[in-house]
Amino acid sequence: MSTLPTAPPHAIAPYTNDIVNRMFIDTADLNYLGARNAYFEHRYWDFWWLTLHATEKYLKAVALLNGETANGTTHNITALLKRVETKVDSRLVLPPFTKPKISGLDYWPPDQTSFLRRLDDFGSAANRYATYGYNVHATDLMHADQLIYWARRHARPLQSPARQGIPAIDWVSMLMANPSEWHRMGRSLEKIAAHSPQSRQRQSFTRLNAAFFPKMRHQMRGPHMAAVNAPIPTWYQRLAQSQDDSPTRATAHAVLTWVLNSVYLTKEDKAEVIKALADYPATGTNSP
């Protein structure tokens, strides 16, 4: 079997960078706009799902554009954030969330760890079929904007070597010194930001988006919070809270047995259902 010659990385960087820009950054831009549209249309499953997808792609682009691989990486945002910090640049640490300048916003405390954990759970592939349910607050949209703003800004080659009289650029330091700079030439969000104010796409991008558009006047209207309980956890609660040998116990046990045999669950979720069925048997005395 013949093998292709190996080109020096710098020789093919313009081509590989173009692949990353088009496959990861441009598609993430559209995922991000989709997440914002979903939020305002009260499609909160899609809001969490698309926010996670967009963030994942931006973070993988950070790795790919800076000599790392995206193979073998996880979909977990917390783990990906740690990966770019340890593998790409130790300065790539997500800064604390801050309260945006949005009048009328009932702002939740900026608990970054809690938000990332909920993003990983509610946006996971396992929640595509309402396995876990969700809760969402207006603050979640603002925290999603800040997370994506940070990840997208760093999705570029972070070290530009000196050439033809142009000094070398350390983009991590450059971005730290210019916190309002996020533009990338020719990419999707930049094109949409240049649309007229009447453009629906631009409005979807700018509405309540104090991360990307801090100088705009943002006014919060509409509901601040929503939540949905998932069916499987509901049946788990019925199983755990029912009396031994009761009809409710028997029904809940039968329903969760059907779920175990008929519905896709992650390995971890399957183990929890199996344990629950063993801990709360349909007949007999439940062991403490």
- Give the C-alpha separation, 47 to 7, whole Å: 41
Looking at the structure, do residues 212 and 240 belong to the same domain, yes or no? no
More confident residue, 107 or 81: 81
Among 92-101, 102-111, 246-255, where is mean pLDDT lowest? 102-111
Do 42 and 138 touch, CB atoms closer than 8 A? Answer: no
Other beta carbons within 10 angstroms of residue 30's beta carbon come to 15
For the cut 90, the answer to whether the pLDDT of residue 266 exceeds it is no
Residue 288: the pLDDT is 39
Same domain, 259 and 187: no
Mean pLDDT of all residues in 258-275: 86
157: Cβ contacts below 8 Å, ≥ 6 apart: 13, 17, 65, 66, 171
Angle between helices 138-153 and 112-122 (to 10 degrees): 90
d(CA 160, CA 167): 8
- Token pair for 232: 């499987």
Same-domain pairing of 247 and 134 = no
- Asked if residue 287 belongs to a domain, the reply is no
Is residue 222 domain-shared with residue 263, that is, in the same domain? no
Q: Is residue 199 part of a domain?
A: yes
The SS3 call for residue 213 is coil
235, amino acid identity:
W
What CA–CA distances, in Å, run from 198 to 38, 204, 205, 209, 268? 20, 11, 12, 16, 47
pLDDT of the residue at 287: 41
Which amino acid belongs to residue 229? N
Radius of gyration of the chain (CA): 23
Residue 286 lies in a domain: no
Q: Return mean pLDDT, the chain.
A: 88
Asked if residue 199 and residue 220 are part of one domain, the reply reads yes
Identify the domain containing residue 267 by its residue range. Answer: 231-279
Is residue 153 one of the residues assigned to a domain?
yes
Of the three residues 209, 227, 245, the one that is the final residue of a domain is: 227
Q: Is residue 3 part of a domain?
A: no
What is the average per-residue pLDDT within 28-48? 96
Q: 181 and 96, same structural domain?
A: yes
- Answer yes or no: do 71 and 180 share one domain: yes
Placement of tokens 């000094």 in the chain:
167
**pLDDT, tens digit, 9 for 90 and up, residues 117-155:** 999 999 998 888 888 888 999 999 999 999 999 999 999
| Residue range 210-230: mean pLDDT, rounded | 85
Which tens digit of pLDDT belongs to each residue from 155-197? 999 988 777 777 888 999 999 999 999 998 889 999 999 999 9
151 C-beta neighbours (distance < 10 Å), count: 26
Same domain, 16 and 45: yes
Contacts of 189 (CB under 8 A, 6+ apart): 29, 32, 33, 152, 205, 212
Does 208 fall in a domain? yes
Which of 184, 207, 227 corresponds to the end of one domain?
227
- Residue 288: inside a domain: no
- Both 235 and 150 in one domain: the answer is no
pLDDT digits (tens, 9 = 90+) for 197-214: 999 999 999 999 999 999
Question: Which has the closest alpha carbon to 61: 116, 119, 18, 123?
Answer: 18
Residue 284 pLDDT > 70: no
Specify the number of domains making up the chain.
Answer: 2
Query: Average pLDDT of 38-59?
Result: 96
Instruction: Give yes or no for residue 285 having a pLDDT over 50.
Output: no
Assess if residue 183 is contained within a domain. Answer: yes
Which pLDDT score is estimated for 102?
92
